[in-house]
Structure 1
Amino acid sequence: MSQSRNMHQGIERQLREKYVTIEREIEDLREVMRQDRALEPDPADQACTASSLDWNMIRFNRNVKLLKDIAVVLKAIDNDSYGVCELCGDDISGRRLLAIPSARYCIECQEMIDAHPGEFGRTGIGDGVLAAV
């Protein structure tokens, strides 16, 4: 078995574990946000509750985005297209995939996209937040 295949399997295993962990956290956040809390009479308590709800919503939205990014990577692994640059078709380096499992472009193409974002209409990783697992 090739070294890149072993690396892909390692990334896949870690991402599947991360996926389950994030699903649990999303469910916990849903439960917290569902709780019907009476407004506190104290303005400081109200501000604290509002801040907590805002933070939970940010975490929730970030986790939903992470699940989507992980699902894209897992689908690419399943159909053997993972680790191939979508622009030039070359292999994406293993170091890059370990650092950014959702990388869709090799470093050369990513640098070109970053230098001329208007020409490509995107940044290359789909506004992904998925970093090293």
Structure 2
Amino acid sequence: MAKPQSTSKKSVIVPANYVPGDDEKFMNDRMREYFRRRLLNWKEEISAQTRDTVEYLQGERVNHPDPTDVATYNADRQLELRTKDRLRKLVRKIDKALVRIEDGSYGYCEETGDPISPRRLDARPIATLSLEAQEMHERGERMRAG
């Protein structure tokens, strides 16, 4: 099991075409900076979506005389609110991942302590389990549910 190292505050240059690979030292400065930026950009995109949703909900003050229109409006509003709640939870997970980047534990499986593959992290930057641990976790859930 590799021991996480805390991150340093030095400036790291990450080329625009950089993609983390299995052939480089795991969670080197460049890889760590790549994921930090990826998470920050994702968080900003979500914040923009949330602002748009709030503006939409605040601006949508139409009086609907038809009960069907009222029902449709309320269903749309509930969907927007559920989506906003999911995004809020996702931002919390992104914030936790950013903390893990700072303390040096980002990219390591919470159950095994092994590195999570850079490809998995690239696909799901908030992942906390390796693919193998995630699959074991899901098999256990299916067995308990079935």
Give the TM-score band, short-chain normalised: 0.7 to 0.9
User: Could you report, residue by residue, the CA deviation over 1:69-120 in whole angstroms, capped at 9, with x for unpaired residues?
Assistant: 111111111111001111111111111111221111122222222222399x
Which residue is 1:9 aligned to? 33
Check if 1:46 corresponds to 2:70. yes
Q: 2:136 maps to which residue?
A: 112
Separation in structure 2 between the aligned mates of residue 39 and residue 11 of structure 1, nearest angstrom: 46
The structure showing larger relative contact order (alpha-carbon pairs under 8 Å, at least 6 residues apart) is: 2
After superposition, give the CA deviation of every residue in 1:44-66 in whole Å (9 maximum; x if it has no partner): 32123112212211221121011
Q: Could you state the TM-score of these two structures normalised by the residue count of structure 1?
A: 0.75
Report if aligned partners of 2:26, 2:115 keep a CA contact under 8 Å in 1: no
2:120 paired with 1:90 = no
Specify the code of the residue in structure 2 equivalent to 1:78.
E
TM-score (norm 2): 0.69
Structure 2 residues not aligned, in runs of 5+:
1-11, 13-24
Alpha-carbon separation, structure 2, partners of 1:110 and 1:45: 44
| Runs of 4+ that moved beyond 3 A | 1-4
CA distance, structure 2, for counterparts of residue 81 and residue 60 of structure 1: 29
Query: Structure 2 CA distance, aligned partners of 1:94 and 1:38?
Result: 48
Match of 2:9 in 1: none
Task: State the alpha-carbon separation in 2 of the partners of residues 116 and 47 from structure 1.
Answer: 40
Greater shift after overlay, 16-25 or 77-86?
16-25
Provide the residue aligned with 1:129 in structure 2: none
Percent of residue pairs identical: 31
- Quick check: which one's helix share is greater? 1
Structural RMSD (CA): 2.5
